[in-house]
Structure 1
Amino acid sequence: MATIDLGDDPLALDRQVCFALSVASRSVIAIYRPLLKPYGLTHPQYLVLLALWDRAPRTVKDLCETLRAEPATLSPLLKRLEALGYVKRERNRADERALLVDLTDAGREFRKEAEKIPYRVVEELGMDLAELEQLHAALGRVLAATERRGAV
């Protein structure tokens, strides 16, 4: 195995991957906040809708796996989305233990409006789309590496 050289100060804050990811994550989510606010949505709720627009209905278990979230975290998000009229929850008739989450007509209709959001985020970031796609691919590799280690 090759020797890893982390320079003179391996604990320098500005060299830490965890710090860069943490600050970048908060900063990007802050861009979403005013875009989602008119719809009464938080960023985590938006992620649930993205997953459902990809495929619905889904079980809560499937949503948890897709979003890498715990059921205790997801449950209040789903209740709020249901109160907003975007989703409905019901027991799976084939398996009463499973809770199905599906989009309502309003949730499906909202997708058309939500399609504008990614464009606004790219505009706000002011970065080249190819650079953002490379970043996304690199983050995908980071996620895969952490999943192999059982960190997620």
Structure 2
Amino acid sequence: MARISNPWFQEAGLDLVTSRMIVLLAERGELTAGEIVKVMALPQSTISHQLKRLEGLGYLKREVGSEDSRIVIARLTAEGVEVAGRANELSRDVVDELVSAIGQKELAAVRAALKRADAALEAMYDSRLAASSSRRRNRKVGMQAPSPSPPAEPRAVQAEA
């Protein structure tokens, strides 16, 4: 997909990631930077950098949250909505080409496999994050992470007289 779409993206000053970001904003209206991080599964620093870049291109406006100044809200401009529409159209063209090449059934199987892979990676990430958080918490209070108990010694059974 990147090989097909990159020439158009470059003309618009985008790449695959930023094009997906503006399509996401077009679909949802406005999102906080944190919501974009969660949906796109990218680091906060990457999202912040890309939002600043898209704002510089005139495709979106960033505003500080009215109730919490730490929150940044992103909203597309009219030009951003137009570019998002073209990016989405390009994506549909690529999907249409894939369907004609491999068929709807096989494409659905690929999507299902990718969703399962994503869920597995998400579970792995959550597990590692929880373990890391637990270790940090234990270090803060001067504790060590609990170690597994050794197996209990078997007790001898005595016959009653």
TM-score by length of 2: 0.68
Shift in Å, 1:115: 3.3
Structure 1 residues 115, 89: CA separation in 2 closer, same or farther (over 3 Å shift)? same
Aligned counterparts of 2:109 and 2:49: Cα–Cα separation in 1: 34
Partner residue in 1 for 2:118:
143
Q: 1:116 aligns with which of 71, 89, 110?
A: 89
**Residue by residue, what CA displacement relative to the aligned partner does 1:102-142 show, whole Å, maximum 9, x if unpaired?**
11111122233233202332355533233223211210111
Letter in 1 for 2:107: L
Instruction: Give percent identity, aligned residues only.
Output: 32
Partner residue in 2 for 1:50:
23
Q: Which runs of at least 4 in structure 1 moved beyond 4 Å after TM superposition?
A: none
How many residues end up aligned between the 2 structures?
Answer: 125
Residues 122 and 129, structure 1, Cα contact 8 Å, conserved in 2: no
Aligned counterparts of 2:25 and 2:72: Cα–Cα separation in 1: 14
Partner residue in 1 for 2:135:
none
Q: Which runs of 5+ in 1 are unaligned?
A: 1-27
TM-score by length of 1: 0.72
Aligned counterparts of 1:104 and 1:129: Cα–Cα separation in 2: 35
Aligned counterparts of 1:93 and 1:42: Cα–Cα separation in 2: 31
For residues 23-38 of structure 1, the aligned pairs below 5 Å read 28-38=1-11
Partner residue in 2 for 1:40:
13
3-state SS of 2:42 partner: coil
Aligned counterparts of 1:81 and 1:129: Cα–Cα separation in 2: 34
3-state SS of 2:37 partner: helix
Residues 19 and 87, structure 2, Cα contact 8 Å, conserved in 1: no
Structure 1 residues 111, 73: CA separation in 2 closer, same or farther (over 3 Å shift)? closer
Letter in 1 for 2:31: R
